[in-house]
Amino acid sequence: MDWGMKNRLSSIMGSDGKCMFMPIDHGYFLGPTNNLEKPGETIKPIIEYCDALFVTRGVLRAAINPDDSKPIILRVSGGTSVVGGDLANEGLTTSIKDAVRLNVSGVGLSVFIGSDYERQTLLNLGKLVDECEEYGIPVMAVTAVGKELEKRDARYLALCCRIAAEIGAKVVKTYWCEEFEKVTEGCPVPIVIAGGPKFDTELPVFEFVHDGMTKGAIGLNLGRNIWQHKHPVAMAKALHAIIHKGANPQEANDIFNDTKNG
Ligand code: 5RP
C-alpha cells in the first residue's frame, strides 16, 4: 500500500485502529431528514466523539467548517430518491478530481447485491476503486439492503462484504446480524457496523455494537441512533466508549445515563 493510501486510512481510524464514523449523508436520497435539516448544527455537539464524517460534497461545502473538521469520507454514489424509482439504481455522482480538491480521506458508495442493480452498482465500485487507487484514496463500500430487511442475515451479508472486498473496497460497511463473526471472518478487509432505523431504547443499540466489535468489526458508522436521539451527546459518548475504551453494554448505558443527567 502506498504512503498516501496508508496515511488516509490511518487518518480515519483512531490511534487504536478502531473507528467511529458519523454518517450525515442521508439527505442524498431522503431530503431534509429529521434532525438533519441543518447538518452543521446537528453535528456541533457530537463531532468530538467521531473519527470521520460520512457526507456528500454539497453538505460538506455548505455546512462543514474547513478550518475545523474531522477527516472526511465523501459519499459519491446516488441518483435516486425515496419518491423516485428503485433506490438501488445508483450511479457515481462525484468525480475523483472533486474528491481530491476537497482533500477527503476516503470515499464511499453503496452496492445493492441481490437487487436488479447488483451488476451496475458493483461495476460502479470497480470503476471507483480503479480511479481512487491512482490517488491513494481508500474506498468504503456500503452494503445496502434497501427495504428488504429480511435479507440481513449472516449468509447474505458475508456474501456482500466478501464481494465488495474482492472488487477492491478498503473498508466495508455492513449491518450487524446474528452470527456476525461469519461476516467478519469471510471478509479480508476491515468491517464497520452500519446503523439502521432508530431503536426505541438505548441498551439494544449498545448490545449490538458491542457484539459486533467483539466479533471482529473495527468500528461503527451509526447516524440516526445518535443524532435523532433526544440525548445525542450521551449516545455519542457511550458508543465512543464501546469503540475506543472497550466498554461493555452496561458500562455504556451507565455513561449514557450519567451524561444525560448532567
Ligand atoms: C445512508 C447511509 C448511512 O451512512 C447509514 O445508513 C448509516 O446511518 P444510520 O445509522 O442512520 O442508518 O449509508 O445513506
Q: What is the pLDDT of residues 67-115, one digit of tens each?
A: 989 999 999 999 999 999 899 999 999 999 999 999 999 999 999 999 9
The pLDDT tens digits of the residues spanning 236-261 come to 999 999 999 999 999 999 999 999 99
Domain that holds residue 78: 3-194
Per the CB < 8 A criterion, the answer to whether 36 and 27 are in contact is yes
- Is residue 52 included in any domain, yes or no? yes
CA of 173 to the centre of ligand 1 (A): 10
- Which candidate, 205, 115, 218, places its Cα nearest to that of 171? 218
Residue nearest to atom 10 of ligand 1 (CA): 195
- Is residue 47 included in any domain, yes or no? yes
Helix or strand run (H / E) with residue 165: helix 154-167
Partners of 74 in beta bridges: 55, 107
- Is residue 229 included in any domain, yes or no? no
Helix 203-214 and helix 249-260: axis angle, to 10°?
A: 140
Confirm whether pTM is higher than 0.75.
yes
Which residues belong to the active site? 173
- Is residue 171 included in any domain, yes or no? yes
CATH number at 158 reads 3.20.20.70
Q: Which residues line ligand 1 (CB under 6 A)?
A: 23, 25-26, 54, 142, 194-196, 221-225
CA of 227 to the centre of ligand 1 (A): 11
- Is residue 167 included in any domain, yes or no? yes
Task: Work out how many domains the chain is built from and give that number.
Answer: 1
The pLDDT tens digits of the residues spanning 192-222 come to 999 876 788 999 999 999 999 999 999 999 9
Q: Beta-carbon neighbour count of residue 6 at 10 Å?
A: 12
Amino acid at 226: I
